């Protein structure tokens, strides 16, 4: 785990922690810690107060990004290996999807990202070579995504090999689930414009059911997750011809 990942984990765990304590626990100088915190604050992951680092509001997307950050980043890095320079991909909202977008934008060349997530578009806006196509629609303030019929009208102009999506839950009867009807409907609309729909999620989501049916099993080609998923669920998914990639 990198020092940045350790720092995020500590702040996320304690919610508020002194710079002095971070320096002691990570065994680096306070100057180094302050520089690290400055970078994380610029990315919106943490908030600074005099002498302290705080995790963002739990309803904020940046907080969700910081939660299990190191795990989500490993999942994103593994998924990024399937994307080559010059490729066009579609990325829906979600914390792990955001980290995938970051990896593609800053460490691949001439990538085009089509997304309905204003958060994703803003998160990678400083990358020099990435091209962002932001799909317009009804703006959801909390999730910072565009949803609804306008998204459907615009996205019909595109077709890509891969769409990457997040989920909020899993049900052996209903398939993969979400927590918001409009966002779930929009993610299915996006999937019609992709050859493969691929889920990026940490294994905790397989213990939640969610309230809205989002994807049937036959609509998903692959999943990238961590080794926390139970063997029974892995076998269940593989029997449905879904490739399960665990990091």
Give the domains, in start order, of the chain with CATH numbers: 3-65 (1.10.10.10), 71-246 (3.40.50.1360)
CA dihedral 71, 75, 77, 79 (to 10 degrees): 180
Mean pLDDT for the chain overall: 93
pTM for this predicted structure: 0.84
pLDDT at position 57, please?
64
Confidence of residue 113 (pLDDT cuts 50, 70, 90): very high
- Decide: 154 and 188 in contact? Cβ < 8 Å: no
pLDDT at position 226, please?
97
pLDDT at position 207, please?
94
Q: Length of the chain, please?
A: 247
pLDDT above 70: residue 167: yes
pLDDT at position 69, please?
85
pLDDT above 80: residue 67: no
Q: Which residue has the tokens 């929009």?
A: 186
pLDDT at position 132, please?
98
Let me know if 50 is exposed, middle or buried by CB neighbors in 10 A (0-12, 13-18, 19+): exposed
**Of the listed ranges 4-18, 23-37, 153-167, the one predicted with least confidence:** 4-18
Spatial distance between the Cα atoms of 200 and 115, rounded to a whole number of angstroms: 15
Q: How many CA atoms lie within 13 A of 120 on its CB side?
A: 33
pLDDT at position 66, please?
75
Q: Which residue has the higher pLDDT, 65 or 185?
A: 185
**Of the listed ranges 22-31, 46-55, 231-240, the one predicted with least confidence:** 46-55
**Two tokens at 130?**
């990435």
């Amino acid at each position: 785990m990198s020092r940045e990942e350790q720092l995020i984990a500590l702040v996320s765990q304690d919610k508020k922690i002194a710079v002095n304590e971070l320096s002691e626990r990570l065994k680096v100088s306070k100057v180094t810690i302050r520089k690290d915190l400055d970078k994380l604050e610029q990315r919106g992951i943490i908030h600074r107060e005099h002498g302290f680092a705080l995790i963002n509001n739990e309803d904020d997307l940046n907080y969700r990004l910081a939660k299990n950050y190191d795990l989500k980043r490993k999942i994103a890095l593994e998924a990024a290996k399937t994307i080559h320079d010059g490729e066009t991909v579609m990325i829906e909202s979600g914390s792990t999807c955001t980290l995938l977008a970051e990896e593609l934008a800053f460490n691949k060349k001439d990538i085009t990202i089509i997304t309905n997530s204003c958060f994703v578009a803003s998160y990678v806006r400083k990358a020099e070579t990435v091209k962002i196509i932001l799909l317009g629609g009804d703006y959801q303030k909390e999730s910072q995504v565009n949803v609804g019929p306008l998204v459907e009208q615009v996205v019909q102009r595109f077709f890509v090999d891969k769409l990457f999506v997040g989920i909020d839950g899993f049900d052996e009867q209903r398939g993969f689930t979400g927590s918001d009807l409009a966002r779930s409907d929009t993610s299915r609309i996006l999937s019609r414009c992709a050859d493969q729909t691929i889920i990026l999620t940490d294994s905790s989501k397989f213990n939640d059911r969610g309230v809205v049916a989002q994807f049937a099993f036959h609509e998903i080609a692959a999943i990238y997750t961590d080794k926390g998923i139970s063997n029974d669920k892995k076998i269940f998914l593989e029997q449905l011809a879904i490739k399960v990639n665990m990091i």
